[in-house]
Structure 1
Amino acid sequence: MGNEGDSSRPSNSSVILQNIQDAPFPIGVILNDTNYPSWSQLMEMRIGARSKLGFLTDISAKPTTNEKAIETFITDNNRVKSWLVDSMNPTLMRRFIRLQTAAEIWKAVKKTFYDGSDKTRLFELNRRSFNTRQSGRSLPTYYNQLVSIFQKIDARLTPKEDTMESTVASSKTLSRFRVHIFLAGLNQEFN
């Protein structure tokens, strides 16, 4: 009964969050000249899981008055900067390491690798989906290759529909179109 109101003990959720923040930062993808979309999504998820996403978006601005808050900001900013540069190949690391804040690094990397439209890459992915064939491979291998291409396409598409109904209708049309691509690429024995 006495422990119910004991605020000196951390809650389970704060212990879990503390464990996530203190855990070594996993680097599964190293940024190079070709993998920005995967790298940025992975970094955003991992940094967000550590409650530091504001350092990428500039929401966590450097305080100006409280000395302890300034020190904490500098420490956290350096931590996020290190996560970013440690996940880059050495050539890219040298290019971005001197920037002052994690947000500056994040913006500079985005400006370098993503023009906001990505039309050329989207065209290439669509072409690959149209030209992908089973070619004697197992059905799951063929299917997984197409799904991987479709996921890359989806990551680049921006929804233009303004209503739920138009979004659902567009999604159904796209799904039906992708089934046609899949069927067109099957081995002749499935005709």
Structure 2
Amino acid sequence: MAKNANNQANRAISEDTSSLYFLQSGDHPGLMLISTPLSGNNYNIWSRAMHMALTAKNKFGFVDGTIVQPKPDDLLYNAWVRCNSMAVSWILQAIVRDIAESLMYMSTAHEIWTDLKDRFHESNAPKIFQIKKLLSSLQQGSLDESSYYTKLRTLWDELRDFQPVSACRCGSAKEWTDYCSQECSP
């Protein structure tokens, strides 16, 4: 009787669309969440795209470790294992085969995410220097206005992504943010 109650509780959790354990009918392990796979040198853009896709699926907590694995006797254990496995599958689908094969024996999405970040995340200083160099040398040349603006905006957005976020509550952070926004506008 207790096993039947556990199954009903798991089903109720899994069918609640606001639940972190909810999977849509179209969710399956072979689903491609993003169009460009991680090849190593594109980690920063790839991780941002995956972050957005997994957040849209309400599964980023399995990746960043905020949804902690319950104990095996917990009612949520099976739902957690199912969703973690789905997140692992989605990540592996978004990585080139050689890299994906090196991750096959890791059991959680969090382990995989951390390993990829440790291996491929570029440190800020060289990347910031590279972006600033590209910004300073960017010229419209034969590009139409839309293409030029897109390249410029992409570089500014990427540079902004590397900027540290201030925890200031005094109000001067808004002034700095406004100044940075003004500097980044074409």
Indicate the TM-score class for this superposition, using the shorter chain for normalisation.
Answer: 0.7 to 0.9
Find the aligned partners of 1:27 and 1:72 in 2 and give their Cα distance.
24
Contact 2:34/2:49, CA 8 A, preserved across alignment? no
Relative to structure 1, the CA distance from residue 49 to residue 21 in structure 2 (aligned partners, 3 Å threshold; closer, same or farther) is farther
Structure 1 gaps, min length 5:
1-9, 183-191
RMSD: 2.8
Could you tell which deviates more after superposition, 78-87 or 37-46?
Answer: 37-46
Residue of 155, 165, 174 corresponding to 2:171: 165
Larger radius of gyration: 1
**Could you tell me the percent identity over the aligned residues?**
19
Residue number in structure 1 paired with 2:116 = 109
Deviation of 1:32 after TM superposition, in Å, equals 1.2
1:161 Cα deviation (Å)? 6.3
Is the Cα contact below 8 Å between 1:29 and 1:39 reproduced in 2? yes
TM-score under structure 2 length normalisation? 0.76
Tell me, what secondary structure is at the counterpart of 1:22?
A: coil
Correspondences of 1:1-191 after superposition (within 5 Å): 14=16, 21-24=24-27, 25=31, 26-66=33-73, 69-114=76-121, 117-160=123-166, 162-163=168-169, 165-179=171-185, 182=186
CA deviation map 1:55-110 (0-9, x unaligned): 11223222224265332222221111101111100111011121111110011111
Between the aligned partners of 1:53 and 1:178, the Cα distance in structure 2 is 30
Letter in 2 for 1:129: L
What TM-score do you get using the length of structure 1 for normalisation? Answer: 0.75
Q: Match of 2:102, SS?
A: helix
Whose helix proportion is higher, 1 or 2? 1
